[in-house]
Amino acid sequence: MSKTVTYYIDSKYFGGAEQVLYTLVKGLDRDVWNPVLVYHPYPGISPFIRGIENENVKTIPTPEIRSYRDIGSINKLSSALRDIRPAIFHANLNWPLSCNYGLIAAFLARVNIILATQHLFPELTWWRERLEQKLVSFIVDTYIAVSNDVARQMREIITPGDKVEVVHNGIIIENYEGGGNGTYARETLDSIKRGGDTSPVVLTVARLDKQKGHTYLLKAAADVPGALFVFAGDGPERAGLEKEAEELRLSDKVIFLGQRNDVRELLLGCDLFVLPSLFEGLPLSIMEAMAAGKPVIASDIGGVNELIRDGETGYLVPPGDTHA
């Protein structure tokens, strides 16, 4: 009889952490494990939920938990976990402090094994944040860090080294094998160009969030008149970035695609991939661009230099440096 593993995520948008979780769930041995996903029903996460449900995974929406004082919602989540009775509770943390309410609910539900994957770990500057994370760490059996850099920060700030294991993110490389000449991929990009534009395509794929540093790529685009810049992804900064592109008079050379389900084709069809993030864990988009055989320029932050050897397999630039 299979055992139940409950995955928990509190994301508001579909990004790399969600893609990692989707790949993990898809690869589970269903003879051994029965996966259940618990989530908060934010509109931006719906594409991820549909994909998970298409893999015949049971999904359970629970009310958003806004603070530790939201006892009712924490109790509802804990009650749901008691009904599920999982052998393992696995939280996926997009951010320090995220998913902490879920970890507490799992502890209250007396789940035997509590795991937490830390996908991202920018610096915690407030002493209250550090204290909160330290306290919650006592109820977590094992933290999984997606890169050596994330693990280093966690060991320094939160918890002893023996509680942190590094498991690098991965992609399904077969998705990019046989890409060949990328004819269909090029047609995909040609279909979004304006007036048969033949300019080389600079692509970035990321959630439109301040963390991803899109504003610096826009400013750099102003100095590269011969290229078309394509932004794939959606998020809270979209309106501001579109306005900035207009102010920089880049409307004719910057295209915002929104959320896409044809990222593979976009990567195979582009000429250059850029990720200008201000901080990262271990970005899937860089792996996917490299698997597609594309040159990559990325900020030298987080685990990015665990993927790229500067000047050999890509180029690393200081974060926030428009002219680099």
Report pLDDT digits (tens) over 273-307.
999 999 999 999 999 999 999 999 999 999 999 99
SS3 2: coil
Query: Is the overall model pTM greater than 0.85, yes or no?
Result: yes
Cα(58)–Cα(55) distance, integer angstroms: 9
Under the banding of pLDDT at 50, 70 and 90, the label for residue 246 is: very high
| 190 and 236 together in one domain | yes
pLDDT of residue 179: 60
Are both 216 and 101 inside the same structural domain? no
The string of pLDDT tens digits covering residues 1-25 is 789 999 999 988 888 889 999 999 9
Instruction: Look at 280 and 95; give whichever has higher pLDDT.
Output: 280
Answer whether residue 194 shows pLDDT above 90.
no
Share of the chain above pLDDT 90, in %: 66
What's the rounded mean pLDDT across residues 174-187? 66
**How crowded is residue 4: how many other Cβ atoms within 10 Å of its Cβ?**
15
The CATH number linked to 146 is 3.40.50.2000
CB-based contacts of 57, cutoff 8 Å, min separation 6: 25, 35, 36, 37
Chain-centre distance for alpha carbon 206? 8
Those residues with Cβ within 8 angstroms of residue 222's Cβ, 6 or more apart along the chain or in another chain: 248, 249, 250
Would the pLDDT of 186 be above 70?
no
Residue whose C-alpha is closest to residue 214's, from 177, 244, 176: 244
Are both 160 and 253 inside the same structural domain?
A: no
* Model pLDDT, residue 183: 60
Shared domain for 296 and 205, answered yes or no, is: yes
* pLDDT bracket for residue 208 (50, 70, 90): very high
Range with the poorest average pLDDT among 42-51, 108-117, 136-145, 152-161:
152-161
User: Could you read off the pLDDT of 113-122 as tens digits, one per residue?
Assistant: 999 999 987 6
Q: Are residues 293 and 184 in the same domain?
A: yes
Is residue 35 in a domain?
yes
Residue 300 is part of which domain span?
177-317
Within this chain, do residues 188 and 111 fall inside the same structural domain, yes or no?
no
113-118 β-sheet, strand order: 58-61, 33-39, 3-9, 88-93, 113-118, 142-145, 164-166
Residue 178 has pLDDT above 60, yes or no: yes
Minimum mean pLDDT among 191-200, 217-226, 274-283: which range? 191-200
Q: Which residues, including other chains, have CB under 8 Å from residue 139's CB and lie 6 or more apart?
A: 103, 104, 106, 107, 114
Are 223 and 161 members of one domain? no
Supply the pLDDT for residue 185: 60
Token pair of 216, please?
A: 């610096």
In the DSSP assignment, the letter for residue 93 is E
Average pLDDT of span 240-249: 96
What count of other Cβ atoms lies within 10 Å of the Cβ of residue 275?
Answer: 25
pLDDT (0 to 100) of residue 195: 62
Tell me, yes or no, whether 24 lies in a domain.
Answer: yes
* Cα distance between residue 100 and residue 144, in whole Å: 15
Average pLDDT over residues 80-91: 97
What does each C-alpha distance from 168 to 112, 128, 146, 171, 240 come to in angstroms? 25, 29, 5, 10, 33
HEC per residue, 23-52: HHHHCCCCCCEEEEEEECCCHHHHHHHHHH
Q: Evaluate if residue 95 carries a pLDDT over 90.
A: no
Same domain, 145 and 200: no
Max CA separation in the chain (angstroms)? 62
CA distance 89 to 7: 6
Statement: residue 210 has pLDDT above 70? yes
Does pLDDT of 180 surpass 80? no
Residues in the chain: 324
Instruction: Pick the closest to residue 268 from 196, 175, 191, 193 (CA basis).
Output: 175
| CB 245 within 8 Å of CB 219 | no
Single residue among 131, 166, 201 that ends a domain in this structure? 166
Q: Tell whether 249 is covered by a domain.
A: yes
Q: How confident is the model at residue 140 (pLDDT cuts 50, 70, 90)?
A: very high
pLDDT at 127 over 70: yes
288 and 212 belong to one structural domain: yes
Q: Are 81 and 223 contained in the same domain?
A: no
pLDDT at 86 over 60: yes
Contact (Cβ atoms closer than 8 angstroms) between residue 36 and residue 86: yes
- 322 domain-assigned: no
Q: Is residue 324 part of a domain?
A: no
For the chain, the domain total comes to 2
